[in-house]
Each structure stands twice: as structure tokens, then as C-alpha cells.
Amino acid sequence: MADVPVIDFHSHILPGIDDGSKDVETSLRMLDMAASQGVDLMIATPHFYASRHRVEEFLPRREASWNRLKEGLAHHEGKVPDILLGAEVAFFRGISQADKIGAMTVGDSDIMLLEMHFEPWTDRDIKEVRDLVLDRHFTIILAHLERYMDIGQNRRRYADLFDLPLYVQINAESISGGKLRDWRRRKTLINMFKDGQAHLLGSDCHGIHHRLPNLIAGRNALKEKLGEAYLKKLDERGSNLLGLKGDTHV
């Protein structure tokens, strides 16, 4: 791994556990694609839905998927990114009081990738996030915040979230102009990085034919608009957050 690793904070790289990689072969090809883009570490974040999964059932399934991938890696040629296990935890009412939700953090850390729901957020929802951060002391990463911008009045709720000591993850495709609507949003998102309202990049990759590993596209967009020095700061921030180098900071 590089001194300051390039980290993909959001990926569905584990085989056969959610709507991401369908099998080990697909995962290996995804890892090769990420490696070719200079990615050193991918956080595997399979979907966790409390309405569908029990923690006691999810964790063994994730471990079994990871073991299948490790078997494939043992016979795979070429260097691929390291993998750190986590989850993309779907927000649910009562999450701030859920005893077992701590098992969904990244590795042995207190870091949780939280996917908000795709409905207008209420005061109660914002309070739940606040309680996760301030009362239960999770380090929250809000997944793909840009995907909620067109939902109801959610954008006006962003200020409430930005007041909290949490991190915002943006999908690489959203700032690379991968879709027509993203060209219109690209400037806003890049300014969020510039202004310290967005902090981390993820590919949110799901396969090799759609939603590909594409972290380099987002990195190149940030480099073009904010410069090489900013990209270095981005990498240092991610490394520090995971405790790989220096002290954690936002």
C-alpha cells in the first residue's frame, strides 16, 4: 500500500451478498479495474437493511462472501487493492437506539457508512443522525449525499447535517459527468469539496457492466478543478480517518 493510500470508501465488491458483484469472478475483475486506477484500499460495504436482515444473520453471510473472495484471490495473479469490511447501513427509524447496530462499523472502528432514506427527511430523522454522532459516538459517513438532492426539501436539511462532526461521501460518477444530470450538479458538488462540506470519494461500484469501479474519474475531476494538492489532502483525510496515518480529523 502507498504511504498515503488511495481509498474507495464505498463499494459492493463482495460476491453474492447484495445487488453488487454476482460472483467471485466478477469481484476479481472489479478489483483488477480498481487496481489499474491506482486504488490501494476498498471498503466493502454490502447493503444492510434492518427491515430485511438480522445482524446475527448478516455478519456470517458477509464473512462467507469474504472467504469465497479470499479463496479466489489466493489463485489470482496481479496485485489488487486491500479490502476492509464494512456495510452500507440503510437508515431506519429507531436506528439511534438499536443495540446491535455497532456491529455494522468498518473493521474494528467506530466508522459507519449510513445511507439515508429516499424520502423527505423529518426533524426526527435529523435527530436520529445527531444522536448517532453525539450520544453514541459513531463516526458517521453519509453515503452519496448527492442522491438526495432532488427529494422533497432535503437540500435545506443539509445545513443541519453539516453542523455535525460527520463526513460526507460523494460518488465519483456524480462529479465526473457520467450522467447528463450530473453535469448540471457537478459544479455544486465540487464546491462542496472545496468548502469542506464533502470529504470522501467512493465508486459505489456494483459490477463490471454497470456502476463500474471508477474512482479515478472522480479523482481526475477534483484534480482538474481543485488541483493536485487538494487530491493529496483528500487522500490524507481518508487515511487519517481509518487510522492509517496521523490523527483523525474532518
Per-residue model confidence (pLDDT) at position 249: 31
Of residues 125, 116, 161, the one with CA closest to residue 143: 116
The fold of the 7-241 domain, in CATH, is: TIM Barrel (3.20.20)
Question: Across the 250 residues of the chain, what is the mean pLDDT of every consecutive 10-residue run?
Answer: 87 98 98 98 98 96 98 96 98 97 97 96 97 98 94 87 96 80 80 96 96 96 96 97 60
Q: What is the largest CA-CA distance in the chain?
A: 51
List the grid coordinates of 75: 489463485
Q: Are 113 and 143 in contact (CB under 8 A)?
A: yes
Q: Are 89 and 104 in contact (CB under 8 A)?
A: yes
Q: Are strands 82-85 and 88-90 parallel, antiparallel or unpaired?
A: unpaired
Per-residue model confidence (pLDDT) at position 103: 97
Distances, alpha carbon 16 to alpha carbons 51, 58, 68, 167, in Å: 19, 13, 10, 28
List the grid coordinates of 21: 458483484
Q: Are 171 and 202 in contact (CB under 8 A)?
A: yes
Distances, alpha carbon 25 to alpha carbons 16, 74, 84, in Å: 11, 13, 19
Per-residue model confidence (pLDDT) at position 84: 98
Per-residue model confidence (pLDDT) at position 210: 87
